[in-house]
Amino acid sequence: MEPTKQNMNVPARSVDAPVASHYLVPMAIRPLVILPDPLLRQASRLVERFDGELKKLADDMLATMYDAPGIGLAGIQIAVPQRIVVIDLAKEGETPAPQVFINPEIVASGDEVNIHEEGCLSIPDYYAEVERPKTVTVRYQDLAGKPQVIEADELLATCLQHEIDHLNGVLFIDHISKLKRDMVVRKFKKLAREREAEKPTRMVG
């Protein structure tokens, strides 16, 4: 999820900012998957192995999210179709507070709704107001595979719903009008064609 005007008081830090001790390890910034890449419509598979590779993936996702900058990222957004989400809503000037959610699942939603202006790192520089439940209960596993439950509200609830949508092949533009969504998709298809046309032609022989 990309910071917007509504949540600019919680921008993500640069990748070289101090973070929790577990994350003081080498991290790699990975390329982001951008609309209209069909990967974004792929449902992610359950994480079954809780090992060093998973921890490295979480570290790389955090590095990528901070560099973007963003406040949330799902595995599929770096072309890894696994059910893993990272989030950091720490405010500017605060110590980063990275959170990692493995196999997150919304098990309950409140009746009250919130409207947040959302953005997405996979749909850069486009923002739209989205209505979602104000509170959600999310069941997930931590990096050790231990079951956890979190009661989230406000921005954290919005961010979790946005990222869990990604794990199911759903984008935030699916929550806006079809007219606006179609306009966004056409724009990004055009940009993708232009990027492809700009690639240098390989010489054979």
- DSSP H or E run through 119: strand 113-120
Q: Which two tokens stand for residue 58?
A: 């979480």
Q: Is 163 a catalytic residue?
A: yes
Of 163, 194, 196, 198, the active-site residue reads 163
User: Residue 193 in 3-state DSSP?
Assistant: helix
* Beta-ladder partners of 115: 131
Measured CA distances, 110 to 22, 28, 137, 170, 174 (Å): 33, 37, 9, 21, 21
Contact 15/27 with Cβ under 8 angstroms? yes
Q: How many C-beta atoms lie closer than 10 Å to residue 53's C-beta?
A: 9
User: Residue 57 in 3-state DSSP?
Assistant: helix
Question: What are the catalytic residues?
Answer: 163
